Structure 1
């Protein structure tokens, strides 16, 4: 069973980004993936800001990345770029931490004016970290992510129609790459 690390770079406890990722996690799990959610905001600030590479929480993140076949990276867009919190984590990872991984970059934001942040801010960083395959990313406008009173998250139909085929493409790519990755590490 391929493992997917679902990484939220949002600093907010009521994050639409994290809600979106948890919704997509359920779909990936239904497609035969073991999904491990990770909210960067739950990591110790002193370890992130102090660049404490030996901190057990950061060691654990590196282990989760190493064990993952695929990684979904979600971030809110601030000032036309991915979150500073996500940057703090990415800066502390080894240069080629994503080698051999299939990656799906996702971003959320209040305006379609920031849609290019996925391709011009996030994708180059993921690529420089050695990702084997970065599937087309997607930007979801905040108003298209509805948090229902019963705790469910619902995507607007147009957003769902655009995003789910990309998620399925990611899922298929992870399934294809997982046996080769396991054979290479054996």
Structure 2
């Protein structure tokens, strides 16, 4: 099965973004994939901001991305783009840090007006990092994700359907990536 790194760029621990992330992680894990989570807000702030490449925690986080077959990139949308926190982490990846990796964006924003933030803000950064396969991903708005009283999140039916479709597409791409790699190694 594939190794998948989930990179979360939310600066807050109770972001509605985690409703999407938890749903997708559960689906990927249920399919037998090895899923690791990088919560960028938990990394040492000074090491992130000062690009201290020798920091052990940053090295572990970038190694998780390096070892992954696929990467889920999750962020709330602020000012029509993903968070600066996420950008700071992505800037620490090597120039080809996403080469040959399937990228699956998950964004959440307050309004549908920022729907194209995945296409116009994130995809150029993924391309600059050598990423070649970028799925459309899912952009959700806050009203589709409810914080539940006992903890956790309730997702709208439409959002669940979109997450199911896009996660299935991610899994299919991961499968074909494995098939292509095996075919190349057998030649």
TM-score bin, normalised by smaller chain: over 0.9
Q: Which structure 2 segments of 5+ residues have no match?
A: none
> Quick check: 1:146–1:153 contact (8 Å CA) kept in 2?
yes
> Quick check: 1:102–1:132 contact (8 Å CA) kept in 2?
yes
Alpha-carbon separation, structure 2, partners of 1:163 and 1:97 = 25
Alpha-carbon separation, structure 1, partners of 2:165 and 2:84 = 29
Match of 2:96 in 1: 96
Secondary structure (helix, strand or coil) at the match of 1:74 reads: strand
Cα offset for 1:153?
Answer: 2.1
Alpha-carbon separation, structure 1, partners of 2:43 and 2:92 = 13
> Quick check: 1:105–1:123 contact (8 Å CA) kept in 2?
no
Alpha-carbon separation, structure 2, partners of 1:142 and 1:24 = 17
Closer/same/farther in 2, CA of residues 133 and 45 from structure 1, 3 Å limit: same
Match of 2:86 in 1: 86
Alpha-carbon separation, structure 2, partners of 1:49 and 1:25 = 28
Matched, 1:126 2:126: yes
Cα offset for 1:108?
Answer: 0.4
Closer/same/farther in 2, CA of residues 182 and 62 from structure 1, 3 Å limit: farther
Query: TM-score of the superposition, structure 2-length normalised?
Result: 0.92
Query: TM-score of the superposition, structure 1-length normalised?
Result: 0.93
Matched, 1:109 2:112: no
Residue deviations 1:57-91 (CA, integer Å, cap 9, x gap):
11111210111110000111000011000011011
User: Bigger shift: 41-50 or 159-168?
Assistant: 159-168
- Map 1:18-167 onto structure 2 (within 5 A): 18-167=18-167
User: Bigger shift: 60-69 or 147-156?
Assistant: 147-156
User: Bigger shift: 17-26 or 79-88?
Assistant: 17-26
Closer/same/farther in 2, CA of residues 52 and 184 from structure 1, 3 Å limit: farther
Cα offset for 1:136?
Answer: 1.2
